[in-house]
Amino acid sequence: MSAHPLLAELRTALPEDGAVLDAPASTDRYRRDQAAWAEAGVPLAVVRPSTAEQVRDVVRACRRHGVPVVPRGAGSGLAGAANAVDGGVVVSTERLLGVTVDPVERLAVVGPGVVNADLRAAVAEHGLWYAPDPASAGFSSIGGNVATNAGGLCCVKYGVTRDHVLGVQLVTGAGDLVRLGRRTAKGVAGLDLLGAVVGSEGTLGVVTEVTVRLRPARPPERTVAGFFDSLVDAGEAVAAVARAGVVPSALELVDSHSLRAVDAWKATGLADEADTVLLARLDAPGEVGDADAATVEACFTAAGATWAGASSDEAEAEALFDARRLVWPAVERLGPLLTEDVCVPLGALPAMLARVQAAAAQHDLVIATVAHAGDGNLHPLVVVPAGADGEARAAAAFEQLMDDALALGGTITGEHGVGRLKREGLTRELDPLVLDLQRRVKAAFDPDGIMNPGAVWA
């Protein structure tokens, strides 16, 4: 069989060693992200460009040959948006690196392949802070964070990735290298095309550079913990904090299944203390921060906490949040996971938590729930049971939880994206006229439909 003529063009455009991979032994690890249930094809090639111009040349060549293009960051996604398609080209951004910090303007120009935690460390040397902090910060890339509009623990107070992206350089599906956004504090010239790109999951183009907004380094945070005998009571405590007008820098929920999984793995002892744990962090300085911590503690107690208190031991407080970060790998030890990501208004959080419990009982499943509770973003982790009907029961619960979130005025995805897992859910959330508008926007960026076909829109 003769080689596809595109391969020769790719090697000419990317002459560096290892920049074009086409042997299955080399391309297999680029086939999918962390969403095990999402379909993944076999790519014609994986390319690893080092410059924006190389990305442009790759996309133009693919367009000439009618070959699909799938942008890929670190592959840490949970919705299948970075999964390869048969006969397509995966464009990995892992070699698009570099961080340039402007401490006067409080911004950084970043390569999409830079890992989130590495960006945070680089700007910290200038007394600055990059706020978005997904749980995958230690291994997810900024380009992937932009593609999914990633969130994290600090979102409740500081917003998601879109709130911190000032501009991008992008190769569109038409093969044009363009800049979107601005570096000024204000700007209303034309439509916000940048906002459309952030969260577009690689369906509009390949991001080749990101300019992000930075903040001054924060004062030390205070930690308040609450132990509850009821998942719903913990949800009521979150709603009470919101009604009190306190905005924590993080407010996380960990349920009993999660606590037991972490305890079985790391012997933390938390499972012996509570059915559900709430962890709040507050970064307001001085007396304001003290008052906020007291208010959160009072809200926890009034909602039925069996114990609530502020931690005076920084190591102890960090250990609690470390346990929260360990939930996903700990629960994964119980079996394959179908990871949900729904978001509801804060007032509906207790009802949504009750519906998670009801879905687990109805389908006879273990559903371990962690949540960025402060902004209503839940991650029910559906453990797929063994047996002939295990996958079907898990899939039914996954779909039911999306419908439950919609019924409560929420959304099918808070931060993981639609990808390939939630395309049908998107049709249940958005009006057909809105979906049509979105497809028209995609066509403007990607007239031949080569960018990440099969992701987001069915």
Residues 341-369 pLDDT 10s: 999 999 999 999 999 999 999 999 999 99
Spatial distance between the Cα atoms of 146 and 132, rounded to a whole number of angstroms: 10
| Amino acid identity for residue 415 in this structure | E
Spatial distance between the Cα atoms of 418 and 80, rounded to a whole number of angstroms: 8
Nearest by Cα to 373 from 135, 149, 156, 150: 156
Nearest by Cα to 88 from 55, 50, 51, 46: 46
Quick one: pLDDT band at residue 1, thresholds 50, 70, 90?
very low
Q: What angle do CA 281, 373, 395 make, to 5 degrees?
A: 145
Spatial contact of 347 and 418, defined as CB atoms under 8 Å apart: no
The secondary structure of 76-103, three-state, reads CCCCCCCCCCCCCEEEECCCCCCEEEEC
pLDDT of residue 122: 98
Q: Is 376 exposed, middle or buried (0-12, 13-18, 19+ CB in 10 A)?
A: buried
Alpha-helical (H) ranges within 14-115 are 24-27, 52-65
Strands 107-110 and 99-102: antiparallel
Residues 327-340 pLDDT 10s: 999 999 999 999 99
Phi, psi of 314 (to 5 degrees): -60, -40
Spatial contact of 262 and 327, defined as CB atoms under 8 Å apart: yes
Spatial contact of 440 and 449, defined as CB atoms under 8 Å apart: no
DSSP per residue, 265-328: HH---GGGT-SEEEEEEE---HHHHHHHHHHHHHHHHHTT-SEEEEE--HHHHHHHHHHHHTHH
Q: How many beta carbons lie within 10 A of that of residue 307, not counting itself?
A: 12
* Edge-first strand listing for the sheet containing 45-47: 20-21, 45-47, 89-92, 69-72
State how far the alpha carbon of 42 is from the alpha carbons of 20, 31, 191, 243, in Å. Answer: 15, 7, 37, 51
| Amino acid identity for residue 136 in this structure | S
Quick one: pLDDT band at residue 2, thresholds 50, 70, 90?
low
Read off the pLDDT of each residue in 392-417 and give the average, rounded to a whole number.
97
pLDDT of residue 387: 86
Work out the mean pLDDT of the chain and round it to a whole number: 95
* DSSP type of residue 436: H
Task: Of 312-326, 399-413, 434-448, give the lowest mean pLDDT range.
Answer: 312-326
Spatial distance between the Cα atoms of 7 and 67, rounded to a whole number of angstroms: 11
Spatial distance between the Cα atoms of 308 and 310, rounded to a whole number of angstroms: 7
E strand or H helix at 172: strand 165-172
Q: How many beta carbons lie within 10 A of that of residue 188, not counting itself?
A: 7
Tell me the angle at which helices 231-243 and 349-363 cross, rounded to the nearest 10 degrees. 160
Rg (CA), the chain: 22
Spatial distance between the Cα atoms of 76 and 35, rounded to a whole number of angstroms: 9
Q: How many beta carbons lie within 10 A of that of residue 419, not counting itself?
A: 25
pLDDT of residue 135: 87
Residues 12-32 pLDDT 10s: 999 999 999 999 999 999 999
Spatial contact of 21 and 62, defined as CB atoms under 8 Å apart: no
Residues 306-329 pLDDT 10s: 999 998 778 888 888 888 889 999
Of the two residues 3 and 234, the one the predictor is more confident about is 234
Structural domains in the chain, CATH included, are 99-216 (3.30.465.10), 222-407 (3.40.462.40)
Spatial contact of 49 and 19, defined as CB atoms under 8 Å apart: yes
Residues 45-73 pLDDT 10s: 999 999 999 999 999 999 999 999 999 99
| Amino acid identity for residue 157 in this structure | K
Nearest by Cα to 229 from 344, 139, 315, 307: 307
